Amino acid sequence: MRFAILGSGAVGGYFGAKLARAGHEVTFIARGAHRDAIRARGLEIRSAKLGDFIVKAPAESDTTRVGPVDVVIVAVKAYDNDTAFPMIPPLVGPDTAVLTLQNGVDNVNQLAAVVGEARVLGGTTYVATALEAPGLIVQTGVHRSIIFGEVFGARGLTARVQAMAGVMSPADIQVTAVPDARTPLWDKFVYLVPFSGFTGAARLPIGYIWTFPHVREMFYAASREVAAIAAAEGVSISPNRFETLEEYMTNLPPSTRSSLLIDLEQGKRIEVEALQGAAVRRASAHGVPAPIVSTLYATLKAWESGNPRS
């Protein structure tokens, strides 16, 4: 299969490298020093537990130089959608699928407005990677999962979803194809809105703040607020979502930071609008109380564009 990776950083670059190593034709859409490093030396993946490797693949900043592909994987930060999504049409042919792996639940609709609902697949991912330097992605842990499927129309395990899953699995990606991608999107949203919110508001990794029973109580209460929003949207989260969430949080390494916290610490823009903001807007539209998530949103909003004191 021929892939284009729109957003070739920590997440998109990692999965694109996996696909390229498996023999697929992958073009990384990147800019500046990262693009130049991929062109000069290849894209390097370092993983203490899964092994290191380097792939050589084209890197372009102009999608008109790439042309139509079979699959566009979208992994840009949600706050870049306005500038990134207009780059997608030159990559689209008659049968191209566009898979978003971005945080949040608004991206699929925003993407459909550009390429049409029929092309869009929704997905989420669990992987711990960081872009440590231009051309270098470092992975911690072993999680490397993509859960994806149809998000519009009749949904179901379509032929294109099964074919794509059949390509990803041999590339050492832990892939799960689902008939309705809205469930995994909201399953992650139930976790990510409070996780990014609490770690971001406290400016701390999860370990220390998780030692306080009141924090844990408020965290799960915030998760229930998001689950209530999903129900109001007509989306069913997994029946055992809170059992799996509790198990996940119990076993999470204490040093774990949300990507929102990492961006805060580096003075970068943060995805507060795609996460807490999206939840608050949907809660308001449906008349669903969300006091904890609303407080997290108010706390983080001033940092949306980076350090306001810099």
What are 166's two structure tokens?
């059949």
Same domain membership, residue 188 and residue 174: no
pTM of the model: 0.94
Residue where one domain finishes, among candidates 149, 179, 209? 179
| Cα–Cα distance for residue pair 36/41, rounded to 1 Å | 8
Same domain membership, residue 215 and residue 139: no
Residue where one domain finishes, among candidates 119, 148, 179? 179
Same domain membership, residue 140 and residue 14: yes
**What number of CA atoms fall less than 13 Å from residue 289's CA on the CB side?**
3
Domain assignment of residue 145, yes or no: yes
Domain assignment of residue 299, yes or no: yes
Give how many domains the chain has, as a whole number. 2
- Can you give the CATH number for the domain in which 72 is found? 3.40.50.720
pLDDT tens figures, 76-132: 999 999 999 999 999 999 999 999 999 999 999 999 999 999 999 999 999 989 999
pLDDT tens figures, 150-174: 999 989 999 999 999 999 999 999 9
| Cα–Cα distance for residue pair 301/307, rounded to 1 Å | 11
Same domain membership, residue 72 and residue 154: yes
pLDDT at 212: 97
What are 287's two structure tokens?
């008349």
Which residue range(s) make up the domain with 175?
2-179
pLDDT tens figures, 203-249: 999 999 999 999 999 999 999 999 999 999 999 999 999 999 999 99
Q: From residue 12, how far is each of 43, 216, 235, 288 by CA, in Å?
A: 12, 31, 27, 34
Residue where one domain finishes, among candidates 179, 198, 227? 179
pLDDT tens figures, 9-65: 999 999 999 999 999 999 999 999 999 999 999 999 999 999 999 999 999 999 999
Other C-beta atoms closer than 10 Å to the C-beta of 31 total 12
Q: Is 110 left (phi over 0), alpha (psi -120 to 50) or beta?
A: alpha
Burial of residue 76, with CB atoms counted within 10 A of its CB: 0-12 exposed, 13-18 middle, 19 or more buried: buried
